[in-house]
């Protein structure tokens, strides 16, 4: 079995010798293949945050960090191979964040059997937010169903609270990822009286002529785009070519990065996208990264993409993992935690405004807390808008609360069916 497995040396003492694998955070990344441009920025942010902790703090709670990176190419089979190749690395993997809904679906039963937690930051299977069924999986601060709900809530506000008679199209990546919002949007269309049109785009998404011809023919009032990688660039360019109004398109948070809009130049102006964290580099943490990581030649990408949407998301994912590890150390009174103890830290994690400020990330994301039953967070999502003139994202709204009543019902239905199929007893007392 061949996997591209490398161990990233993190921290200032690397030149003197290898880092002991006291706390191991594998990175299942993709720097090659059709999704490499997106995956690399996330992976850089993820690696740089851990590099900062090693260089500045000596790790987490006195234990140094080891981050073996394994290339998946966004391929599900390779992702599973990477998991098997890294789970016993060092003293044992503490957490996985595969950045792929397809890989996530395959790893859910494996992680439960092996007793290793996984955090799917705003992706993966939405119903794992029910910790009573999915003990080892977390997807806070928001899920795909939260995102779909917030998109409709925003459009409701834009239309005086009434979407009846409107037509909304979902242009989606024809994969487990792209199909995630369909159930929620179907329910919402029945609740609010809008017509719902589904348009699938096959991997990797370079060919969309027929879908945009259908959009021209059907003339939907709005398009919600659930894309990834080159699909996003092509869709935005096709929309510009057909003169579909950019401010009537809302991308998912995986279709709302600079990579997606820059190729279309002025044509992308006004495009909107969901997001659950801040953009830009105006945070104290970035001064720390410059001092301890980039200027020392320890950065995975030299800080080139600092402040970009996907780099910031990698930072966010690593920060949550590190804070959960600190919480686990606090709960169990040991610094060299294992995967089961890490799970406890994830389940008792609380991200407050004060904590984010202490980390140099004031206002970076919504506040949230987890519990045995709630692994999905607060479900609050904002809308960003692209300004092609100065090539920046502006925050168009505050964090909007998703329809928690609807989503709780859908999560209960889906997770209960999964529990029955897999003979899973309730996990929470």
Position 408 in a domain:
no
Any idea what DSSP says for residue 19? P
Confidence tier at 154 by pLDDT (50, 70, 90): very high
Q: Please provide the average confidence, as pLDDT, over all residues in the chain.
A: 94
- Of 275, 298, 330, the one marking the end of a domain is 275
Verify that 226 and 258 share a domain, yes or no: yes
CATH number at residue 319: 3.40.50.2300
- Which pLDDT belongs to residue 75? 96
Verify that 214 and 233 share a domain, yes or no: yes
Query: CA–CA separation, 141 vs 380, rounded Å?
Result: 7
Confidence tier at 302 by pLDDT (50, 70, 90): confident
Verify that 201 and 259 share a domain, yes or no: yes
Query: CA–CA separation, 276 vs 142, rounded Å?
Result: 7
199: part of which helix (H) or strand (E)?
A: strand 195-201
Span 150-168, mean pLDDT?
98
Verify that 228 and 271 share a domain, yes or no: yes
Position 337 in a domain:
yes
- Which pLDDT belongs to residue 8? 39
Position 402 in a domain:
no
Residues 226-283 pLDDT 10s: 999 999 999 999 999 999 999 999 999 999 999 999 999 999 999 999 999 999 999 9
Residues 348-403 pLDDT 10s: 999 999 999 999 999 999 999 999 999 999 999 999 999 999 999 999 999 999 99
- Of 275, 306, 333, the one marking the end of a domain is 275
Verify that 305 and 236 share a domain, yes or no: no
Position 3 in a domain:
no
Position 320 in a domain:
yes
Verify that 43 and 120 share a domain, yes or no: yes
Residue 123: give the domain boundaries.
22-142+281-378
- Contact between 359 and 365 under an 8 Å Cβ cutoff? The reply is no
Verify that 170 and 256 share a domain, yes or no: yes
Residues 3-24 pLDDT 10s: 333 343 333 333 333 444 489 9
Residues 393-426 pLDDT 10s: 999 999 999 999 999 999 999 999 999 999 999 9
Verify that 318 and 231 share a domain, yes or no: no
What would you report as the CA-atom Rg of the chain, rounded to the nearest whole angstrom? 21
- Contact between 261 and 394 under an 8 Å Cβ cutoff? The reply is no
Verify that 215 and 293 share a domain, yes or no: no
Number of domains the chain contains: 2
Position 302 in a domain:
yes
- Which pLDDT belongs to residue 381? 98
- Contact between 289 and 19 under an 8 Å Cβ cutoff? The reply is no
- Contact between 60 and 87 under an 8 Å Cβ cutoff? The reply is no
Token pair for 273: 């996208």
Verify that 149 and 162 share a domain, yes or no: yes
Mark out the alpha helices in 267-378 (DSSP H runs): 284-292, 309-332, 339-347, 353-358
Residue whose C-alpha is closest to residue 214's, from 226, 199, 192: 199
Q: Which are the contacts of 190, defined by CB distance < 8 A and separation ≥ 6?
A: none
Span 141-149, mean pLDDT?
98
Verify that 208 and 88 share a domain, yes or no: no
Query: How many residues comprise the chain?
Result: 429
Q: Is 113 exposed, middle or buried (0-12, 13-18, 19+ CB in 10 A)?
A: exposed
Position 398 in a domain:
no
- Of 378, 399, 421, the one marking the end of a domain is 378
Position 403 in a domain:
no
Verify that 126 and 164 share a domain, yes or no: no
């Amino acid at each position: 079995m061949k996997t591209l497995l490398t161990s990233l040396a993190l921290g200032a003492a690397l030149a003197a010798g290898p880092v002991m694998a006291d706390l191991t955070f594998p990175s299942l990344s993709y720097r090659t293949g059709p999704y490499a441009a997106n995956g690399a920025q996330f992976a850089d942010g993820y690696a740089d945050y851990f590099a900062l902790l090693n260089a500045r703090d000596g790790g987490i709670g006195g234990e140094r960090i080891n981050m073996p990176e394994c290339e998946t190419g966004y391929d599900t089979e390779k992702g599973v191979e990477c998991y098997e190749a890294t789970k016993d690395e060092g003293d044992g993997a503490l957490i996985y964040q595969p950045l792929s809904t397809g890989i996530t679906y395959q790893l859910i039963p494996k992680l439960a059997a092996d007793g290793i937690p996984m955090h799917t930051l705003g992706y993966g299977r939405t119903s794992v937010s029910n910790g009573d069924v999915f003990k080892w999986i977390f997807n806070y601060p928001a899920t795909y169903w939260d995102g779909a709900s917030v998109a409709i809530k925003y459009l409701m506000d834009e239309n005086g609270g009434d979407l009846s008679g409107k037509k909304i199209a979902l242009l989606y990546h024809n994969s487990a990822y792209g199909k995630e919002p369909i159930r929620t949007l179907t329910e919402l269309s029945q609740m609010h009286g809008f017509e719902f049109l589904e348009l699938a785009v096959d991997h990797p998404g370079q060919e969309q002529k027929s879908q945009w011809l259908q959009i021209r023919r059907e003339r939907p009032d709005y398009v919600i785009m659930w894309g990834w990688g080159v699909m996003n660039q092509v869709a935005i360019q096709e929309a510009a070519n057909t003169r579909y109004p950019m401010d009537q398109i809302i991308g998912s948070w995986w279709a709302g990065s600079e990579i997606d809009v820059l190729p279309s130049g002025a044509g992308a102006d006004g495009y909107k996208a969901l997001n659950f964290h801040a953009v830009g580099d105006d945070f104290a943490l970035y001064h720390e990264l410059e001092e301890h990581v980039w200027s020392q030649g320890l950065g995975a990408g030299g800080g080139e993409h600092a402040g970009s949407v996907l780099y910031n998301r990698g930072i966010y994912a690593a920060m949550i993992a590190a804070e959960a590890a600190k919480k686990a150390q606090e709960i169990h009174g040991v610094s060299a935690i294992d995967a089961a103890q890490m799970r406890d830290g994830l389940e008792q994690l609380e991200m407050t405004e004060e904590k984010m400020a202490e980390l140099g990330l004031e206002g970076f994301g919504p506040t949230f807390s987890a519990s045995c039953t709630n692994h999905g967070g607060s479900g609050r999502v904002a809308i960003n808008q692209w300004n092609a003139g100065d090539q920046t994202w502006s925050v168009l709204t505050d964090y909007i609360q998703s329809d928690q009543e609807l989503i709780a019902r859908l999560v209960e239905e889906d997770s209960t069916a999964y529990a029955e199929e897999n003979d899973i007893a309730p996990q929470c007392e």
